[in-house]
Amino acid sequence: MTAYTGQNLLDALDSQGLSDWQGRSDSIGTRLLTGDFATGLYLVNKIGAAAEEAGHHPDITLTFPHVDIQLTSHDTGAVTERDLDLAGKISELAASAGVKAGPDAE
């Protein structure tokens, strides 16, 4: 399994069209601007179901008015295909709910 770090991670995000995700030292993250708590909760539930189906679980912080998500593969200490695949699914879920990504606080 490929572990993505540094420029390889940034290139992988770019090649998979994940412009709403930011590369970090050992993870990727995004902030989804839900606008209200109910929309955030709805999206978190959808993300939770997708994560269960994938058998890969993000760190999620639900607040008013956004949801922060971080993905990493703890067994490798880096980002892997599992993270990129789930990030793509999360981005699709956000788009279908009319939620856009915004500036991410680290």
Q: What pLDDT tens digit does each residue of the chain (106 aa) get? A: 899 999 999 999 999 999 999 999 999 999 999 999 999 999 999 999 999 999 999 999 999 999 999 999 999 999 999 999 999 999 999 999 999 999 865 5
The pLDDT value recorded for residue 100 is 96
71, 29 contact by CB (below 8 A): yes
Give backbone dihedrals phi and psi of 24, rounded to 5 degrees, phi first.
Answer: -125, -175
Distances (CA, A) of 75 to 9, 53, 56, 63: 17, 19, 11, 28
Distance between CA atoms of 91 and 65, rounded to whole angstroms? 17
In sign, the C-alpha dihedral spanning 48, 54, 55, 60 is: negative
Name the pTM for this structure: 0.94
91, 18 contact by CB (below 8 A): yes
The pLDDT value recorded for residue 1 is 83
The pLDDT value recorded for residue 57 is 95
